[in-house]
């Protein structure tokens, strides 16, 4: 029987639970501006190595989801998507250090979610060190 007919609470999906853990309860509103996230990922984090159209596709795909990204959260998530692709590791090896420095600056300024920033750093260390 459906939860709402039983008078019970709706069961949260794993993604909903993840959002509450990472962003808090209640989570903030999505404030990302996709066009700005594309430009930040393209110019600052990936240093124009990746085709801007590819970055745009990933950005809008992530933006359409439930995660309440800020613009910088979205840009970081997009860049991480490309850094994790094994075929791109040789191309992105030299820019990942600068991307991590940018992430560090954003974390000091509270421009990115703490857990997202830590995940970004952990993943890049694992892939590139």
Is 16 or 85 the better-scoring residue by pLDDT? 85
Residue 46 pLDDT > 70: yes
Residues in the chain: 129
Q: Hey, what are 107's tokens? A: 């974390």
Residue 2's pLDDT band, with cuts at 50, 70 and 90, is: very low
69: preceding bond cis by omega (within 30 degrees): no
Looking at the predicted structure, is the pLDDT value of residue 4 above 50? no
pLDDT at 10 (0 to 100): 66
What integer pLDDT is reported at residue 19 of this predicted model? Answer: 83
**Per-residue pLDDT at 71 exceeds 90:** yes
What pTM, to 2 d.p., does this model score?
Answer: 0.86
Give the span between the Cα atoms of 26 and 92, in whole angstroms.
36
DSSP-derived letter for residue 40 is I
């Amino acid at each position: 029987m459906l939860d709402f007919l039983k008078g019970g609470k709706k069961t949260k999906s794993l993604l909903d639970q993840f959002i509450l853990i990472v962003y808090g309860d209640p989570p903030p509103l999505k404030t990302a501006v996709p066009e700005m996230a594309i430009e930040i990922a393209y110019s600052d984090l990936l240093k124009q190595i990746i085709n801007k159209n590819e970055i745009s596709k990933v950005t809008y795909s992530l933006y359409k989801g439930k995660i309440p990204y800020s613009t910088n959260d979205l840009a970081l998530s997009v860049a991480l998507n490309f850094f994790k692709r094994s075929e791109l590791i040789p191309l992105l090896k030299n820019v990942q250090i600068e991307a991590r420095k940018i992430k560090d600056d954003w974390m000091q300024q509270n421009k990115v979610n703490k857990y997202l920033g830590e995940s970004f750093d952990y993943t890049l260390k694992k892939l590139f060190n």
